[in-house]
């Protein structure tokens, strides 16, 4: 029974990654969504300590990281669609910070 529970936790940890904002807010994100970002994909695949599935972003605030994660989900949802995807909404007050985060994350 304990082995089954441990195996289930391992499966969940493989399916999700933990992204942590500058303020310490933790987001559990599906791995397939997180790897939309080239930087995260490289961190998870390489010999980095982040390969364990926990990535800290000391320079990305919680509201910006939340919007970036929303974009990951938006991109995954519409990536195989035959119709054009709807425009991803970006509030003007967050535009510059989102641009800098997207540049850093390569997404």
* Segment 51-98, tens digit of pLDDT: 899 999 999 999 999 999 999 999 999 999 899 999 999 999 999 999
Residue 106 φ/ψ region, left for φ over 0, alpha for ψ in the -120 to 50 degree band, beta for the rest: left
Whole-number average pLDDT of the chain: 89
pTM of the predicted protein model: 0.84
Helix (H) or strand (E) holding 55: strand 54-56
What is the span of the domain harbouring residue 79?
A: 2-105
pLDDT at 7: 46
CATH number, domain with residue 90: 3.30.710.10
Distance CA 14, CA 4 (A): 15
Task: Tell me the average pLDDT across 18-34.
Answer: 97
Question: Per the structure, how many domains does the chain have?
Answer: 1
Q: What is the pLDDT of residue 2?
A: 53
């Amino acid at each position: 029974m304990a082995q089954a529970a441990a195996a289930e936790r391992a499966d969940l940890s493989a399916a999700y990654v933990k992204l942590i904002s500058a303020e310490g807010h933790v987001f559990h994100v599906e791995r397939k969504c997180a790897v939309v970002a080239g930087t995260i994909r490289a961190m998870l695949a390489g010999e980095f300590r982040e390969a364990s599935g926990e990535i800290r972003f000391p320079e990305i605030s919680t509201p910006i990281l939340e919007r970036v994660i929303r974009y990951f989900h938006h991109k995954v949802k519409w990536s195989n669609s035959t119709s054009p995807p709807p425009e991803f909404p970006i509030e003007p007050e967050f535009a510059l910070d989102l641009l800098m985060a997207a540049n850093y994350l390569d997404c």
